[in-house]
């Protein structure tokens, strides 16, 4: 496997699921047949999970026997190393408070929305970079010492100095609620002392999204069809739960895949 963007997507997708992580750790101790794996994870969709692991080149499947591949062994080694490093670094972090909400101003990009400037204390400093993976759409910049987090239309920037700028909020109440959520997410992670390994930067293409939608063009979501829905999802204007068809039986693998991709948009 070359380690390119599409391979990274396959591996991240495969390992982003608890059942598949359990399977790969089980296989790290030796080859197993499918029935043994099924007994361990007790999952009726075992063939689906094994196929995902196989597509990501993390396991090899011959007849009904599964074996961890060289790529899978390397992945487990780097995963373990990365977790240990992150644990050590996070032990320096202290819980934060939103000390002050200083300003509520109209947004430059959209005058119907607001921009809030607040202060987080104590400043997160060097810990900010380590926290990037806990936010599905978080992006840390070394140059600016800032972490940009996108959630729907709301864009929040946290600086190492403690300053927080939140853009595209509807009103003061929404800003307060979002700042509280942000504080709780950070503090829960600090309390656990565990941060997931840094995520690879994955580029999501429009067609990646479209091909996993049901493609019935039923319009239940209020869009012209699945392609329009995919465009609006890429723009952060709709959410996956607005597609009613994805909740129907048989679409579970599509939904899981789309949830994974949506975290990288
Ligand atoms: S509800 Fe789902 S299946 Fe129906 S048009 Fe919208 S995206 Fe497509």
Which CATH number belongs to the domain containing residue 154 in this structure? 3.30.310.10
pTM above 0.85, yes or no: no
181 part of a folded domain: yes
Convert the pLDDT of each residue in 50-103 to its tens digit. 988 988 899 999 988 999 999 888 888 876 655 544 444 666 678 888 877 877
Residue 46, number of CB atoms within 10 A of its CB: 19
The residue with greater pLDDT, 171 or 103, is: 171
Same domain, 57 and 23: yes
DSSP string, 59-124: EEEETTEEEE-HHHHHHHHHHHHHHHHHHHHHTT----EEEEEEEEEE-SS-TTSEEEEEEEES--
pLDDT of residue 100: 78
Same domain as 241, residue 160? no
85 and 142 housed in the same domain: no
Q: Which of 46, 69, 90 is the last residue of a domain?
A: 90
Residue 214: inside a domain: yes
12-46 confidence digits (pLDDT tens): 778 877 788 889 988 988 899 998 888 888 766 78
197 assigned to some structural domain = no
Helix (H) or strand (E) holding 207: helix 206-212
Whether residue 243 is contained in a domain is answered as: yes
Q: What is the pLDDT of residue 209?
A: 92
CATH value at residue 258: 1.10.15.40
CB 216 within 8 A of CB 245: yes
Q: Are residues 216 and 172 in the same domain?
A: no
**How far apart, in whole angstroms, are the C-alpha atoms of residue 24 and residue 61?**
12
pLDDT at 132 over 60: yes
Residue 106 lies in a domain: yes
Shared domain check, 185 and 110: yes
How buried is 258 (Cβ within 10 angstroms: 0-12 exposed, 13-18 middle, 19+ buried)? buried
Are 21 and 67 part of one and the same domain? yes
Q: Which residue, by CA, sits nearest to atom 8 of ligand 1?
A: 226
Instruction: Please indicate, yes or no, whether residues 174 and 102 belong to a single structural domain of this protein.
Output: yes
Q: The domain containing residue 232 runs over which residues? A: 206-262
Name the token pair of 165: 């700028």
86 and 127 share one domain: no
Higher pLDDT: 7 or 180? It is: 180
Q: Which of 164, 192, 220 is the last residue of a domain?
A: 192
Kindly state whether residue 200 falls inside one of the protein's structural domains.
Answer: no
Q: Say yes or no: CB of residue 221 within 6 Å of ligand 1.
A: yes
The rounded Å distance from CA 137 to ligand 1 centre is 24
Say how many domains are in the chain.
3
Q: Which residues contact 186 (CB under 8 A, 6 or more apart)?
A: 95, 96, 124, 131, 134
For the chain, helix, strand, coil in percent to 5 are: 45, 20, 35
Mutate to test the pocket of ligand 1, among 206, 224, 225 (most ligand atoms within 8 A of CB): 225
Q: How far apart are CA 151 and CA 70, in angstroms?
A: 37
Index of the ligand 1 atom closest to the CA of residue 218: 4
Residue 3 has pLDDT above 80, yes or no: no
Closest residue CA from atom 6 of ligand 1 = 221
Neighbour-count burial of 156, counting CB atoms closer than 10 A to its CB (0-12 exposed, 13-18 middle, 19+ buried): buried
Residue 158 pLDDT > 80: yes
Residue 165: strand pairing partners: 117, 157
Q: How far does residue 142's CA lie from ligand 1's centre (Å)?
A: 40
């Amino acid at each position: 496997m070359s380690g390119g963007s599409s391979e990274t997507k396959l591996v991240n997708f495969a390992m982003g699921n608890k059942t598949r992580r359990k399977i790969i750790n089980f296989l790290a101790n030796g080859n197993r047949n499918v029935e043994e794996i099924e007994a361990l994870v007790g999952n009726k969709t075992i063939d689906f999970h094994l196929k995902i692991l196989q597509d990501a080149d993390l396991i090899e499947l011959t007849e009904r026997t599964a074996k961890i591949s060289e790529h899978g062994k390397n992945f487990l080694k780097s995963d373990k190393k990365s977790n240990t490093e992150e644990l050590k670094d996070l032990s320096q972090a202290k819980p934060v408070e939103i000390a002050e909400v200083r300003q509520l101003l109209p947004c430059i990009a959209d005058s119907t929305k607001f921009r809030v400037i607040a202060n987080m204390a104590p400043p997160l400093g060097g810990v900010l970079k380590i926290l990037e993976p806990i936010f599905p759409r978080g992006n840390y910049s070394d140059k600016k010492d800032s972490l940009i987090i996108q959630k729907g239309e709301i864009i929040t920037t946290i600086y190492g100095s403690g300053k927080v700028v939140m853009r595209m909020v509807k009103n003061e109440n929404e800003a307060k609620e979002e700042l509280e959520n942000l504080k709780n997410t950070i503090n829960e992670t600090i309390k656990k002392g565990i941060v997931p390994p840094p995520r690879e930067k994955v580029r999501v293409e429009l067609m990646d999204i479209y091909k996993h939608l049901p493609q019935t063009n039923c319009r239940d979501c209020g869009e012209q069809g699945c392609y329009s829905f995919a465009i609006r999802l890429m723009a952060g204007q709709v959410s996956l739960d607005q597609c009613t068809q994805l909740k129907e039986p048989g679409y579970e693998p599509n939904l899981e895949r789309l949830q994974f991709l949506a975290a990288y948009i």
